[in-house]
């Protein structure tokens, strides 16, 4: 069942996605503009960055100061060396430019700016609410962990708390820490393809409550190397919109493999049915799409259907905030044999 907020969150329930994504005419016009390299490099990329930085700094998030402090910290190179797995083979889609960084997540600047960018994103979810950046982040993450908790209670092993949680695409570890705090009996593995992000995650986690229960691992969500049926929860927070459809399916298949029977898959990301997302002003949706190369695929794939195809049951979607949906499912016992 959908959350009580779903009716107010998604007033255009019958409309499946925004017109600016997929095969619609408007989408093709936007894509043509983005494909103009001069326009993209000189106008769109700097404007996309400026929009996020301005949202952060006018709400008390010292974006440039935070990034500068990390850049000046001599311990990060050692953390990078400790976490990097040189055997990791990066998928082609991951090495493309995105988020206005030429190297995507494979650079220090992306890692240094990830935390303030995430706070900026959370603030933009609640534009009319006079709340702090910390409150916005907390509200965003708590809605996600609450949906996860409700699913675990309804469909999980009621007698046992999750013991092992994998946060795929953990970035600098913000989602990981919120999930870890919500499930204090669990060991949490933060998995990411970027050793830069993981170095910052480990740095930020030092001396934080519960840090001893969290491990940061450089690896691929599509090929974790973890044992079959060894994990209670697989989480993907704001990851799937960054992936082509084939990678999304591979991530779900790997989640099905490593989850125990009855284990929970949970993802949160932009909600294609959200009235806010569908009615973004042209300047904003063009800027957003210009830094997200897989938007057309993300907004048109059937996430629930794909999860069922990968062997999940009890699949449902919650509209967890005005912009985002959380999709959950449980790994079925019978279907798994067919994978």
Q: What is the pLDDT of residues 143-176, one digit of tens each?
A: 999 999 999 999 987 667 999 999 999 999 999 9
pLDDT in tens, 35-54: 888 887 888 888 888 888 98
What is d(CA 98, CA 276) in angstroms, rounded to the nearest whole number?
23
Tokens for 324, please give them. 């985002």
209-219: per-residue pLDDT in tens? Answer: 999 999 999 99
Q: Which string of b and e fits 80-113 if b means at least 16 CB within 10 Å?
A: beebeeeeeeebeebeeebbbbeebbbebebbbb
Give the three-class secondary structure for 260: strand
Neighbour-count burial of 37, counting CB atoms closer than 10 A to its CB (0-12 exposed, 13-18 middle, 19+ buried)? exposed
* Confidence grade of residue 3 (pLDDT, cut at 50, 70, 90): very low
Region class of 229: left (phi > 0), else alpha (psi between -120 and 50), else beta: left
Say if CB 336 and CB 309 are below 8 A apart: no
Q: How far is CA 176 from CA 86, 195, 302, 331, in A?
A: 23, 16, 26, 21
| pLDDT (0 to 100) of residue 111 | 96
pLDDT at 338: 44
pLDDT > 50? residue 82:
yes
pLDDT given for residue 23 in this prediction = 84
Question: Is this prediction's pTM over 0.95?
Answer: no
Q: Is the pLDDT of residue 91 over 90?
A: yes
For 263-273, what is the mean pLDDT?
95
Quote the DSSP letter at residue 160: S
**Short-list 277, 264, 259, 256, CA closest to 319:** 277
For residue 229, the Cα-to-chain-centroid distance in whole angstroms is 23
Q: How confident is the model at residue 339 (pLDDT cuts 50, 70, 90)?
A: very low
- The pLDDT value recorded for residue 290 is 79
Min mean pLDDT across 71-85, 95-109, 265-279, 301-315 is at 95-109
- Side by side, the strands of the sheet bearing 187-192 are 214-218, 187-192, 164-168, 231-237, 259-270, 324-331, 312-318
């Amino acid at each position: 069942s959908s959350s009580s907020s779903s009716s107010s969150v998604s007033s255009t329930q019958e409309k499946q996605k925004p017109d600016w994504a997929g095969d619609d005419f408007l989408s093709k016009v936007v894509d043509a503009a983005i494909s103009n390299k001069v326009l993209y490099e000189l106008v769109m990329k700097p404007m996309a960055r400026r929009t996020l930085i301005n949202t952060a700094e006018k709400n008390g998030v010292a974006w440039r100061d935070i990034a500068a402090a990390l850049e000046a910290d001599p311990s990060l190179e050692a953390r990078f060396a400790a976490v990097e797995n040189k055997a990791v083979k990066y998928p082609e889609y991951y090495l493309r430019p995105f988020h206005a960084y030429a190297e995507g997540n494979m650079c220090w600047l992306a890692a240094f700016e990830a935390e303030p960018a995430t706070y900026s994103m959370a603030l933009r979810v609640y534009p009319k609410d006079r709340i702090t950046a910390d409150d916005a982040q907390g509200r965003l993450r708590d809605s996600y962990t609450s949906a996860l908790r409700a699913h675990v209670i309804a469909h999980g092993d009621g007698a046992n708390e999750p013991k092992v949680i994998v946060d795929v695409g953990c970035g600098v570890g913000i989602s990981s820490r919120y999930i870890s705090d919500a499930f204090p009996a669990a060991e949490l593995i933060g998995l990411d393809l970027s050793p830069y992000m993981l170095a910052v995650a480990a740095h930020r986690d030092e001396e934080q409550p519960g840090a001893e229960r969290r491990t940061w691992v450089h690896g691929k969500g599509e090929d974790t190397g973890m044992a079959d049926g060894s994990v209670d929860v697989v989480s993907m927070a704001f990851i799937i919109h960054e992936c082509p459809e084939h990678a999304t399916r591979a991530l779900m298949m790997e989640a099905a493999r490593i989850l125990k029977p009855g284990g929970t898959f949970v993802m949160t990301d932009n909600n294609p049915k959200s009235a806010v997302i569908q009615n973004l002003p042209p300047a904003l949706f063009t800027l957003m799409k210009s830094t997200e190369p897989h938007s057309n695929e993300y907004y048109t794939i059937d996430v629930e259907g794909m999860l069922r195809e990968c062997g999940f049951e009890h699949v449902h979607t919650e509209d967890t905030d005005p912009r985002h949906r959380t999709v959950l499912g449980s790994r079925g016992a019978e279907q798994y044999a067919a994978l």
